[in-house]
Amino acid sequence: MNVYITPEEYEAAAARGISARTLNLRIQTYGWPKERALTEPPQRRTDWDHWYEVADRHGIARQTFRARVYRGWPPERAATEPPRQRKG
């Protein structure tokens, strides 16, 4: 996987309202494909307050909710689908 981000890619992302930090996280941390990382508009955290409450009601930790959304899950599914049970 190519995680190097060129100056031109940073410029293209900035033109779409995607900060360098967000682009770095998407590609280097979350493993998003570059095409998606460069084109998908960033979500605003203020929109997440409702989904945090939904996730809390379904017993889903905020960290789990955020990780799911960053992996591309729709917020509704991320906030309502029960976590997998670990085999122990």
The burial of 54, by beta-carbon neighbours within 10 Å (0-12 exposed, 13-18 middle, 19 or more buried), is given as: middle
Integer Cα distance of 35 and 77 in angstroms: 23
Count of CB atoms situated within 10 Å of the CB of 27: 22
pTM metric for this prediction: 0.53
The pLDDT confidence band at residue 46, using thresholds 50, 70 and 90, is: low
> In this model, does residue 64 exceed pLDDT 80?
yes
DSSP 57-87: HTT--HHHHHHHHHTT--HHHHHHSPPPPPP
pLDDT at 13: 95
